[in-house]
Structure 1
Amino acid sequence: MRIGGVEAGGTKFVLGVADLDGQILSRTQLPTTMPEATLALSREWLTDQAGPTGLAAIGIGTFGPADINPASSTYGDITTTPKPGWQGAHVRAAFLDLAPVVTFDTDVAMAGLGEAQSGAGRDVDSLIYATIGTGIGAAFVKNGVPQSGYTHAEMGHFPVAQDKAADPYTGYCPYHGNCLEGLAAGPSIIDRWGVPLSELPEDHPGHQIIADYIAQFCRTVMLGFAPERIVLGGGVMKTPGLIERVVETTERHIAGYAVPPGASWREYIVTPQCGDDAGLVGALAHARGQLPR
């Protein structure tokens, strides 16, 4: 039998099928359009790739906010997303007839699980994984399990201190304006400077402005969760030199307090090792973990 994985992102769906050992046998991606069309195409591809014995389980990681509480009547649905057409979309329900086990969590939780099991967190028991791209999301993974409370965390909406003289931008977030996502996500960068961070001149002050916001996030999760590693992914983090700026600025913000033991700062705050496959790898691992032993 095989297992299926779905990384349901706001711009694209990444789909994969793996054997029971987690080896990916096939993968594809589809543009995220409207729910009915996108989910139908995803179902069709998974059905075609399932093989003669079908799928034993499917793991789904979705953009959010989403209902990840199995006891809830809307478990598996997207909730208050600003993405047009997707509020209330029944994502998990669309796959229930394709496998006896269908697991569900956020895309960032699945990516964190992927890094914990197969990437930058293989040698530690706990990590914070954050994606900094079109939006900003983060998850805390401990002992191979994404952690949550009444719902998943929304760390991208942490407040951050803003130097209005250096950065007078009012923020891109439709809910909170100048929260972390409103100031450091990709659209906010383009909105105020006209190009992605990677295309700004090397001496542009925007590089340090964005690094400082991300470093404030790192400080907050260090003090709030005490993870053994912080993994920063997403398109913005691919900007040359950004990870080094973030590490240096975080160290300055921490000011010698709650310093991580046994590792250099550059070993503590890192970029992903699974690359763009972290979410898919995690979704497959999440599904595989729910199979009978």
Structure 2
Amino acid sequence: MLYGSIEAGGTKFVCAVGDENFNVVDQTQFPTTTPDETLARTVKYFKKFDHIDAFGIASFGPIDIDKNSDTYGWIIKTPKKGWSNIDFLGKMKESFHVPMFWTTDVNGSAYGEYVSAKRHDENIKSVSYITIGTGIGMGSVINGDFLGVKGTPEFGHIKVKRHRDDLDFKGTCPWHGDCLEGVASGPTFEARNGVKGQDTPISDPTWDIIAYYAAQAVVDLTVTFRPDKVVLGGGVCTPEFIAKVRAQFTLLFNNYLSVGSLEKYITGPEIQHNGSATFGDFVLAQKAIDDEKKNIEVGE
């Protein structure tokens, strides 16, 4: 049994093949260029193997996940130049006639972290994953199912209360200005100060401002979905930054509900080396096989 994982990002594609135990047996990555070039390179990579039994595909978006939609499997209106209205899933199915699970990039990571958490704590029923990088996204898994049916949550576009020292910053979101993504994503460092986040020392006050916004996001998740765990991933979420988010969460939440130890409630990814989505995709590929079998049984 071999599973294919495609972590399709706006900057790069990470493609991997896993075995029946969801371990990586081969992996590659390459830049996201034009749709034709990038998807052709993806197909070529997987064609090297004798067979792939199923795929888990986690893509940047927005994407269409509604199976009753005419554009199911498409990347729809996206700020990534040249990638709007691309039938991603359809192009993969032209080359591989196997089950495929189609979801967002952050959902792939969320599922990987959910399964990983349950392996050592069977009481875990739900995990929410927030990625803070070039953009901001969120995926939630509840009892093995994703939040969202008609579409995936666009959590990066929630409104947040502005930090008192950040009122003059207009935000970077082309649609909403100062939504969560517009004030807390990676590019906002340079937009504020002319210096990229990776070059900004953790002592810089900008980190505290962004942690304040991220903590609001965790508060919103806590009072709406009540997850067992919130994972913070993406390029912005260093251990030092996550510690700042915990501190801001404590102040904002004011111990309103019991969430247990913050070190266990608000964490970085358990799966190392940015492997959450790859692992999640392997498990979702198996889920695609299981779902197809169920559909056949129901049809019979």
Residues 55, 99 of structure 1: 8 Å contact kept: no
Residues 9, 32 of structure 1: 8 Å contact kept: yes
Residues 66, 79 of structure 1: 8 Å contact kept: yes
Unaligned runs of 5+ in 1: none
**Post-superposition CA distance 1:7-48 (Å, at most 9, x none):** 000100000111222121101001001101000000000111
**Post-superposition CA distance 1:110-159 (Å, at most 9, x none):** 11001111258852110110110010000111122222132000111110
Secondary structure, aligned partner of 2:275: helix
**Could you tell me which amino acid in structure 1 is paired with residue 99 of structure 2?**
V
Cα distance change, pair 119–274 in 1 and its aligned pair in 2 (3 A): farther
Q: Does 1:71 align with 2:86?
A: no
1:243 offset after TM fit, Å? 0.7
**Could you tell me which amino acid in structure 1 is paired with residue 241 of structure 2?**
L
Name 2:21's counterpart in structure 1.
21
**Could you tell me which amino acid in structure 2 is paired with residue 246 of structure 1?**
V
1:101 offset after TM fit, Å? 0.6
Structure 2: distance between partners of 1:94 and 1:55? 16
Residues 115, 121 of structure 1: 8 Å contact kept: no
Q: Does 1:279 align with 2:298?
A: no
Q: Does 1:186 align with 2:183?
A: no
Residues 187, 197 of structure 2: 8 Å contact kept: no
Q: After TM superposition, list the pairs within 5 Å mapping 1:198-217 onto structure 2.
A: 198-217=198-217
Structure 2: distance between partners of 1:232 and 1:28? 25
Structure 1: distance between partners of 2:271 and 2:118? 8
Once the two structures are overlaid, the 10-residue window that deviates more, 36-45 or 68-77, is 68-77
Secondary structure, aligned partner of 1:109: helix
TM-score, normalised on structure 2? Answer: 0.91
Name 1:90's counterpart in structure 2.
87
Residues 67, 77 of structure 1: 8 Å contact kept: yes
Name 2:103's counterpart in structure 1.
105
Within the candidate set 55, 58, 61, 2:55 is matched to 58
Residues 202, 240 of structure 2: 8 Å contact kept: no
Name 1:132's counterpart in structure 2.
132
Structure 2: distance between partners of 1:164 and 1:251? 18
Cα distance change, pair 208–101 in 1 and its aligned pair in 2 (3 A): same
Residues 128, 141 of structure 1: 8 Å contact kept: yes
- CA RMSD in angstroms, aligned pairs only: 1.6
Secondary structure, aligned partner of 1:274: coil
1:3 offset after TM fit, Å? 1.5
Name 2:262's counterpart in structure 1.
265
Percent identity between the aligned chains?
36
Name 1:253's counterpart in structure 2.
252
**Could you tell me which amino acid in structure 1 is paired with residue 245 of structure 2?**
V
TM-score, normalised on structure 1? Answer: 0.93
Structure 2: distance between partners of 1:148 and 1:68? 9
Residues 120, 231 of structure 1: 8 Å contact kept: no
Residue correspondences, number: 287
Structure 1: distance between partners of 2:255 and 2:116? 31
1:99 offset after TM fit, Å? 3.4
Name 1:195's counterpart in structure 2.
195
Q: After TM superposition, list the pairs within 5 Å mapping 1:25-64 onto structure 2.
A: 25-48=25-48, 50-51=49-50, 54-64=51-61
**Could you tell me which amino acid in structure 2 is paired with residue 114 of structure 1?**
G
Structure 2: distance between partners of 1:144 and 1:121? 13
Structure 1: distance between partners of 2:128 and 2:189? 23
Secondary structure, aligned partner of 1:140: strand
Name 1:242's counterpart in structure 2.
241
Once the two structures are overlaid, the 10-residue window that deviates more, 161-170 or 250-259, is 161-170
Q: Does 1:152 align with 2:152?
A: yes
